[in-house]
């Protein structure tokens, strides 16, 4: 926390029914009187609110901003099948419902991590979400595959439209051992991730298929040309969870189509969990947020 803080706002947890299908979504607000800014933080797959509850106080937006966080369906304290969705439209509409219930039509900016970054981009490009800016940490904009991409797409498609759509697509449990984990080099923060009440679940085949579908939206020229807000992306050099090679080419494509130039930063030596990394890496991510989250 910022040692100069006079008052540390507390989090208040609530629930609402998703407008898509009635699934109960858990969200939390860190509200202050007469906020100068409103910030929505969207976490990644298999994450939860409490993992980031100290984040606001470590940024320059700790005292004058109204913060909102949520558990995506199927994770944390929200209902729904674990690590499963059939379309990112569902994720985006869940987020929009939380935005409407909290910010009540006031302008807001989005800070997001991993899958939360993909939801942010998808929702903004399609108009479901209308943030003032996006600051994305290790966003999911490409998947690292154990097989050729065309084969993964075909396999996900076939299983999605079969009785096995909700079956696990497999994957490595990255929170099992600290040694050689691809998430963080901080033992303390790794332990806090693994010793929580919420457990990680591998994604379903339908989630994989839906994610490929969201990637297509991210590269749709019509959508890209219409997105005019500031976008900033930061990623670790040792990223091994999502495909970081797509960021700079995507930013160039967006710039060409929209006329806007994004910001990109590579953190030397850092892994996927920039906001839960060792301090020397996390501090760089916080500085990036302070500088590039436009509010």
Using H for helix, E for strand and C for coil, what is the string for the chain? Answer: CCCCCCCCCCCEEEEEECCCCCCEEEEEEECCCCCCEEEEEECCCCCCHHHHCCHHHHCCCCCCEEEEEECCCCCCCCCCCCCCCCCHHHHHHHHHHHHHHHCCCCCCEEEEECHHHHHHHHHHHHCCCCCCCEEEECCCCCECCCCCHHHHHHHHHHHHCCCCCCCECCCCCCCCCCCCCCCCCCHHHHHHHHCCCCCCCCCEHHHHHHHHHHHHHHCCHHHHHHCCCCEEEEEECCCCCECHHHHHHHHHHHHHHHCCCCEEEEECCCCCCHHHCCHHHHHHHHHHHHHHCCC
Q: Sorting pLDDT into bands at 50, 70 and 90, what band is 259?
A: very high
- Least trusted range by pLDDT, from 138-142, 169-173, 178-182, 189-193: 169-173
Rounded average pLDDT over 145-171: 87
> 228: buried, middle or exposed (CB in 10 Å: 19+, 13-18, 0-12)?
exposed
**Does the pLDDT at position 8 exceed 70?**
no
Higher-confidence position of 252 and 169: 252
Mean pLDDT, the chain, integer: 93
User: What is the rounded distance in angstroms from the CA atom of residue 295 to the CA atom of residue 68?
Assistant: 14
Share of the chain above pLDDT 90, in %: 81
User: What is the rounded distance in angstroms from the CA atom of residue 72 to the CA atom of residue 165?
Assistant: 19
**Where do we find the tokens 């959508």?**
223
Q: Where are the domains of the chain?
A: 12-292
User: What is the rounded distance in angstroms from the CA atom of residue 73 to the CA atom of residue 162?
Assistant: 22
8 Å CB contact between 94 and 16: no
**Does the pLDDT at position 17 exceed 90?**
yes
- CATH 3.40.50.1820 at 12-292, yes or no: yes
Higher-confidence position of 169 and 55: 55
> What pLDDT, on the 0 to 100 scale, is given for residue 58?
96
């Amino acid at each position: 926390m910022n040692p100069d803080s006079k008052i540390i706002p507390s989090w208040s947890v609530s629930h609402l029914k998703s407008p898509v299908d009635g699934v109960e979504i858990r969200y939390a607000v860190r509200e202050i009187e007469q906020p100068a800014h409103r910030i929505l933080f969207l976490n990644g797959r298999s994450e939860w609110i409490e993992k980031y509850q100290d984040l606001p106080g470590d940024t320059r937006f700790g005292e004058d901003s109204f913060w909102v966080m949520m558990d995506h369906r199927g994770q944390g304290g929200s209902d729904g099948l674990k690590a499963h969705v059939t379309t990112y439209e569902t994720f985006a509409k869940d987020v929009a419902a939380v935005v409407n219930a909290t910010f009540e039509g006031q302008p807001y900016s989005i800070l997001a991590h991993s899958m939360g970054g993909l939801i942010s981009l998808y929702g903004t490009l399609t108009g479901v979400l209308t943030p003032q800016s996006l600051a994305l940490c290790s966003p999911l904009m490409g998947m690292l595959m154990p097989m050729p991409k065309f084969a993964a797409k075909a396999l996900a498609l076939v299983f999605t439209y079969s009785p096995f759509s909700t079956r696990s697509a497999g994957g490595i449990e990255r929170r099992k051992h600290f040694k050689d984990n691809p998430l963080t080099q901080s033992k303390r923060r790794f332990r806090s991730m693994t010793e929580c009440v919420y457990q990680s679940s591998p994604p379903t085949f339908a989630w994989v298929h839906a994610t490929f579908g969201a990637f297509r939206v991210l590269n749709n020229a019509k959508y890209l040309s219409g997105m005019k807000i500031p976008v900033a992306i930061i990623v670790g050099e040792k990223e091994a969870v999502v495909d970081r090679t797509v960021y700079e080419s995507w930013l160039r494509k967006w710039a060409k189509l929209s006329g806007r130039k994004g910001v990109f930063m590579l953190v030397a030596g850092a892994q996927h969990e920039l906001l839960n990394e060792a301090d020397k890496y996390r501090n760089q991510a916080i500085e990036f947020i302070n500088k590039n989250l436009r509010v």
